[in-house]
Amino acid sequence: MRPRRVIERRARIFLGCEGESEQGYGAFLQRLTDAHELKVHIAVTNLQPAGDPLKLAKKAVLKSAQEASKGGFIAKAIMLDTDRLADLRDGGREARELLSREGFITIWQRPDHEGFLFRHFQGRERHDPHPGSSMAALQRVWPGYHKNMPAVDLRAKLDLDDVLRAAGVETELMKLLRVIGLSRPD
């Protein structure tokens, strides 16, 4: 009789995503996690339809509670665009309070996912493209970029150093990387 192989359980992190682009980024983070042989599983959850940050926040709270029934989470995170906050009467106060109360690491992408990705490139860390111009700015440094890029294509262009560069100015991204185990000691 062969000895039973024990499969080590991975720590789970919930990552709520506004859409497919963020979902691809979450899968990209999982690839980095796997490449560094970390025992973490990022439960990437698409919260579509995208749009209202408060509705997305409420959906993330609900989905994370449902997913927690399969095993708890060591952390919960969500990626949301800031360009939608202007559509809310309270400027996103209620969404921010809900996510804070529920213990979410909230990565507010300025102004959107493309602006967030733009800050991954050398010399662009502190640049905030204006709403409506982030896609053009990103395509200047990454001509082949398109929306809803899968993890494999993100991994072909970006690496951990690029993620850490962005996390140097995106404090919530750094919090997430620390929980995953991808941050480097200061």
Q: What is the pLDDT of residues 127-139, one digit of tens each?
A: 999 989 999 999 9
Any domain includes 185: no
Using a cut of 0.85, tell me whether the model's pTM lies above it. Answer: yes
pLDDT at 186 over 80: no
Any domain includes 186: no
Q: 126 lies in which domain range? A: 11-180
Q: What is the pLDDT of residues 8-55, one digit of tens each?
A: 788 999 999 999 999 999 999 999 999 999 999 999 999 988 678 999
Residue closest to 76 by CA, chosen among 158, 164, 11, 162: 11
Any domain includes 4: no
pLDDT at 125 over 80: yes
Tell me the β-bridge partners of 43: 14
Q: What is the CATH number of the domain that holds 172?
A: 3.40.50
Q: Say whether 40 sits in a helix, a strand or coil.
A: strand
Question: With contact defined as beta carbons under 8 Å apart, do 16 and 78 qualify?
Answer: yes
